[in-house]
Chain A
């Protein structure tokens, strides 16, 4: 069964159809790309999948459960985590605390135990610190565990966002332009990391990206959006060579 399935997913802002009858089917373990020119509605799709926007039409099923009308917190608990196009870290918290926030819902600790650091607190905290460091190590951030998140360089902030999202133990990871602002070397490294994460953490990844090298390099399937509508979908190499897609990106030959 598909891990994520949207049927005729649509949203309308006034007269503008930002996303129009989008059908996505993502299988478990896939690395799926969502691409399209600026303003095509890609981030709007993410916002609908995570409950920030409520779709005006169509359905979203995560692992067979309908998540229409659920709020972001509920959706996260059901297993979707995301990163943001414009980085949204917890800037005044340390790198490791950012990740620990992600682990929050997996920690069972009452308020009383937290007030006095008794009972399950010590054991839980030790576990979560170890798990957070392990996760940071995957992204080569363990050396900066105690740095304030806002003091990290840009590329590392992007990586930290992915680490934080993974800490919530999602079934489906949504990455919104993970390579934006990275140099080619960093992008290559990121591609490896994303693949590593998918293979070792039993995760499905849906990503938005403009860097075609990254999309072509790691995505198995892509859907191309243009003006809110599906322009093409299928195997990455075929879609990227589709003349309609090329036209949408770079315009028509005069």
Chain B
């Protein structure tokens, strides 16, 4: 009907999303390489090294939450609960198999997958009732589920003797149980948590810890961005932007939201596994709702759209209070100011316009280059 060179437009379409994706991958690789070089050859302080793995944990947790909050448009306050599941499953697995699986790499990989999958399964089970709700109700119920998970994990007893595994949610049941004292091993010990996560699988002592964590993040980002650029991902975003129209276009809204929710739980579980393997002892005190809120803050101030900006915002907001420790009493004040500033910047029309202008300039430059090459 109308004349227009379709092929030219198509090329542009493909390259626009692909370019954006590769920028994000590049950023992850760049950070990994730069920081690892600094750790290996520079004189990184111990507190700096200590920050590396937790930062990765929070980046992954924030990315996973962004699947629910940013991509799927639902407010979830239970992310720490899924981290808790991942951490407990991963750590328990590592403790149990400390001797039976000789290779640290194999044990750690299985722990990551197992932690993620169990968290994903719980995400599915919790998603069945939760995703029937919308808006504030969904937020409150996810908050409640997060607390329930934390509470259950905090009262979980898992021991073994030669007669097999013993699981209880009550210390009395455990003390009433007749163990074979000679072969008894405690894996999970109620409020005391998990003790003796094997040193060899502890990533903190590994000098490549940061690169390992960043590799996990890179895989996560690739899967997430691939998902967003697929039929299923588009369905999730369509349901976010307009539920009624999405249904009228044949999008199964419940299934789409569930997919995003389970993916989110999976990656939060993986973040939990990384978290657990950074310490010798694990308990539930760090998985309360404050943690969920903290992760939500990272996501919201990251703009809730691009995975890249969520990542950057998490790094800034997590590292900043630690980096400011020297400033002592001014620390939280500065942190608060940064939070407010980021919020204002995110919503400022002037800055948005400026960014658009810069982006347009870059796009033009790239076009000229392409034209020149052709």
Contact B246 A137 (CB under 8 A): no
| Number of B interface residues in the complex (CB < 8 A) | 38
Contact segment of A5-13, A28-36, A128-136, A233-241: A128-136
Contact among A91, A101, A103, A116 with B246 in the assembled complex (CB-CB below 8 Å): A101
* Complexed CA–CA distance, A117 and B226 (Å): 6
Contact B13 A93 (CB under 8 A): no
Contact A104 B249 (CB under 8 A): yes
Q: Any chain A CB within 8 A of the CB of B170?
A: no
Contact segment of A80-88, A207-215, A244-252: A80-88
Q: Which residues of A contact B231 (CB under 8 A)?
A: 100, 103-104, 107, 109, 114, 124, 128
Q: Which residue of A lies closest to B12 (CB)?
A: A146
Contact B233 A114 (CB under 8 A): yes
Task: Give the secondary structure class of A's interface.
Answer: helix
Q: Which residue of A lies closest to B244 (CB)?
A: A88
Q: Which residues of A contact B251 (CB under 8 A)?
A: 73, 101, 104
Q: How far is the CB of A211 from chain B (nearest CB, A)?
A: 22
The digit string for B1-22, where 1 denotes a CB below 8 A from any CB of A, is 1101010011011101000000
Contact B223 A116 (CB under 8 A): yes
Q: How far is the CB of A123 from chain B (nearest CB, A)?
A: 13
* Complexed CA–CA distance, A26 and B249 (Å): 22
Q: How far is the CB of A110 from chain B (nearest CB, A)?
A: 9
Q: How far is the CB of B346 from chain A (nearest CB, A)?
A: 15
* Complexed CA–CA distance, A98 and B16 (Å): 16
Contact A96 B13 (CB under 8 A): yes
Q: Any chain A CB within 8 A of the CB of B259?
A: yes
Q: Which residue of A lies closest to B4 (CB)?
A: A142
Contact B250 A104 (CB under 8 A): yes
Q: Which residues of A contact B235 (CB under 8 A)?
A: 101, 104
Q: Which residues of B contact A92 (CB under 8 A)?
A: 237, 240-241, 305
Contact A168 B234 (CB under 8 A): no
Contact B245 A52 (CB under 8 A): no
Contact A101 B16 (CB under 8 A): no
Q: Which residues of B contact A52 (CB under 8 A)?
A: 244, 248
Q: How far is the CB of B299 from chain A (nearest CB, A)?
A: 16
Given known pairs A89-B241, A101-B238, A143-B4, the reply for A76 and B249 (CB within 8 Å) is yes
Contact A101 B234 (CB under 8 A): yes
Contact A76 B248 (CB under 8 A): yes
Contact among B10, B230, B233, B246 with A130 in the assembled complex (CB-CB below 8 Å): B10
Q: Which residues of B contact A124 (CB under 8 A)?
A: 231
Contact B2 A115 (CB under 8 A): no
Contact B238 A140 (CB under 8 A): no
Best-buried of B13, B222, B240 by chain A (most CB within 10 Å): B13
* Residues of B1-49 contacting chain A, CB below 8 A: 1-2, 4, 6, 9-10, 12-14, 16
Q: Which residue of B lies closest to A50 (CB)?
A: B248
Q: Any chain B CB within 8 A of the CB of A90?
A: yes
Q: Which residues of A contact B309 (CB under 8 A)?
A: none
Q: Any chain A CB within 8 A of the CB of B279?
A: no
Q: Which residue of B lies closest to A91 (CB)?
A: B241
Q: How far is the CB of B64 from chain A (nearest CB, A)?
A: 14
* Residues of B295-344 contacting chain A, CB below 8 A: 305
Q: How far is the CB of B348 from chain A (nearest CB, A)?
A: 18
Q: Which residues of A contact B248 (CB under 8 A)?
A: 50, 52, 72, 76, 81-82, 84, 165
Q: Which residues of B contact A129 (CB under 8 A)?
A: 10, 13-14
Contact A114 B232 (CB under 8 A): yes
Q: Which residues of B contact A134 (CB under 8 A)?
A: 6
Given known pairs A137-B4, A138-B1, the reply for A90 and B13 (CB within 8 Å) is no
Contact among A73, A115, A146 with B13 in the assembled complex (CB-CB below 8 Å): A146
Given known pairs A116-B226, A137-B1, the reply for A93 and B234 (CB within 8 Å) is yes
* Complexed CA–CA distance, A142 and B132 (Å): 37
Q: Which residues of B contact A71 (CB under 8 A)?
A: 247
Q: Which residues of B contact A196 (CB under 8 A)?
A: 1
Contact among B4, B230, B242, B245 with A114 in the assembled complex (CB-CB below 8 Å): B230
B residues lining the A interface (CB < 8 Å): 1-2, 4, 6, 9-10, 12-14, 16, 222-223, 226-227, 229-235, 237-238, 240-242, 244-253, 259, 305
Question: Could you show 15 A-B contacts with beta carbons less than 8 Å apart?
Answer: A76-B250, A89-B245, A90-B238, A92-B240, A92-B241, A93-B238, A96-B13, A109-B230, A111-B259, A117-B226, A133-B6, A137-B4, A143-B4, A146-B16, A165-B248
The 7 closest A-B CB pairs, nearest first, are A114-B230, A76-B250, A88-B245, A90-B241, A72-B247, A101-B238, A107-B231
Other 17 A-B pairs with CB < 8 A, given A76-B248, A146-B12: A84-B244, A84-B248, A90-B238, A92-B241, A104-B231, A109-B231, A114-B230, A115-B227, A115-B230, A125-B230, A128-B231, A133-B13, A137-B1, A138-B1, A142-B6, A165-B248, A168-B249
